[in-house]
Structure 1
Amino acid sequence: MVNREMMKLWVIEALNDLGGAGWPKDVSKYIWDKYEQELKASGSFLYTWQYDVRWAAQQLRNENKLKPVHKRRDLPWELV
């Protein structure tokens, strides 16, 4: 079952695959391309997963696993 904790793992996986940094749209595309079936089978999570990707990124920043962006939108997400 897909949940928010799993989404954090997927964000890290996507960023690793993208060379350690990536734009939110690229992270979302990676997750959709790789986990489309799981997302579709997840029920209501299908309708919130892109919000949950951003939630996961913020949680990873809070855990010092992603570099801070200081509310800027012109910076990619980047692993620490």
Structure 2
Amino acid sequence: MLTRADLPNLVEKALIESEGKATIVQVSKYIWKNYREELEKSGDLFFTWQYDLRWAAYSLRKKKIMKPSKKGFWELY
């Protein structure tokens, strides 16, 4: 079972797997492919996880782990 607090780590993993840069669609596909079962068992998060990815990206930007978004890409520092 995943929680909203787990999503920043999953976003970071997805970006690492994509050589540090990916679109939100690529990040979403990575998380769905690798964490689908956990998401399905996560109660309300199952219905909000794609919205909550944006919150996760924001928190990674605040921590200077992720660069500000440019042209639809999320990128690690």
TM-score class, shorter-chain normalisation, is over 0.9
Mapping for residues 12-51 of structure 1, pairs under 5 Å: 12-51=12-51
Question: Aligned with 1:48: secondary structure?
Answer: helix
Deviations 1:16-45 (A, max 9, x none): 000100000000000000000000011111
- Alignment length (residue pairs): 77
Structure 2 counterpart of 1:41, which letter? K
Deviations 1:24-77 (A, max 9, x none): 0000000000000000011111000001111100110011000012xx5x2410
Write out the 4+ residue segments of structure 1 that deviate beyond 4 Å after TM superposition: none
Structure 1 gap segments, 5+ residues each: none
**CA–CA distance in structure 1, aligned partners of residues 3 and 22 of structure 2:** 22
**CA–CA distance in structure 1, aligned partners of residues 52 and 2 of structure 2:** 11
User: TM (normalized to structure 1)?
Assistant: 0.91
Structure 2 gap segments, 5+ residues each: none
**CA–CA distance in structure 2, aligned partners of residues 45 and 5 of structure 1:** 11
RMSD (Å) for aligned C-alpha atoms: 1.0
**CA–CA distance in structure 2, aligned partners of residues 12 and 5 of structure 1:** 13
**Which residue is equivalent to 1:65?**
65
User: TM (normalized to structure 2)?
Assistant: 0.94
